[in-house]
Amino acid sequence: MTGGNSTARAAGIVTLVVAGLLGSAYVLGRSLVPDQTPPRSAGVTTNADGPHYADQPSVGEPGATPGASSSASPVETGQDGSGRDAGGDKLFGAHSTTGTPRLALTFDDGPDPRYTPQVLALLREYDVRATFCVVGENAQNHPDLVQSIVDDGHTLCNHSWHHDVGLGARSADAIRSDLLRTNAAIRAAVPNAPIVWYRQPGGAWTYPVVSVARQLGMTPLHWSVDPSDWDLPGASKITATVLSQAEPGSVVLLHDAGGDRQGTVDALRQILPDLTARFELEALPTDPT
């Protein structure tokens, strides 16, 4: 029995030694294999174009929106409603209603010698005052039309010099220079006309562009009804959208320039008699609070 116990003990010792050697070999082998575990994220999401923020859409240039280009001529632009549904958190305080039971018609991108006179004639026929958001270089090229807008009792609104959708992503100095240049072109045509509203092209609002506009004494203006007339849907669709969505306090977005606006003019012939029967229409005040 003594010999048997010695043999068993020896076998156990050998087993332990072999197990120890195997364990050491495993540890040594693991230490020689590179770690394949991916690094943990630091909590910041980036891509090849850099980080994107709430006021910087990830498609195209900063501040750009689908279907709009800051480099295109204003005669080819006007896509202020292009595929966006700007929520209140993206407006940075810009007004999207009149704040009263009255409804406001607004016309962007002009003046244009083909369509602005037609729009003015229809508004005159129905005794309606509206708000015209003019592009600086168009105001410079057609000062007589800016004068006609004011003579008819309509309100003027700054809409940037060159319909720059990406303006809000630029420096405060660049924004200020653009807005002042536009105001100067408007005042060259109508020296005493108040300019107290600013509408950002594409509705691409950012804190800097809102802040600079306010510093210059202009209230940022958005909208609540957008029939996408810039996309040429036809007079019937423009009419149906405006008449179905209009309600007290609405700010309606339309265009009198930036492309073929005959559909908008034709829609106005149907829109104006209906809206004037249901609402009181106003030009936005020239002393907003």
The yes-or-no answer on residue 159 being catalytic is: no
The yes-or-no answer on residue 255 being catalytic is: yes
Task: Tell me which of 80, 108, 164, 178 is the catalytic residue.
Answer: 108
Beta strand 104-108 with 219-220: parallel, antiparallel or unpaired? unpaired
179, 218 in Cβ contact below 8 A?
A: yes
230, 82 in Cβ contact below 8 A?
A: yes
Up-side HSE of residue 96: CA atoms within 13 Å toward CB?
16
Task: Tell me which of 162, 229, 255, 256 is the catalytic residue.
Answer: 255
The number of beta carbons lying within 10 Å of the beta carbon of residue 215 is: 12
d(CA 169, CA 148): 33
- Which positions are annotated as active-site residues? 108, 255
